[in-house]
Amino acid sequence: GPKTLDGVSTRIKKKNLEKKDLTKAEVDLAVSTNAG
């Protein structure tokens, strides 16, 4: 139900915050690769 969905969403957001720097680096790399 909604509770489970909210829990998963919160967990994903938390995980994304923890990996914020790594994610940014991955995005930068992807952008550089696509641009090149």
Question: pLDDT tens digits, the chain, 36 residues: what are they?
Answer: 557 888 888 888 887 777 776 677 788 888 888 876
Whole-model pTM above 0.85?
no
Residue 2: the pLDDT is 58
Q: What pLDDT sits at residue 1?
A: 54
DSSP class of 19: T
For 25, 26, 35, the CA distances from 16, given in Å and listed in that order, are: 13, 12, 25
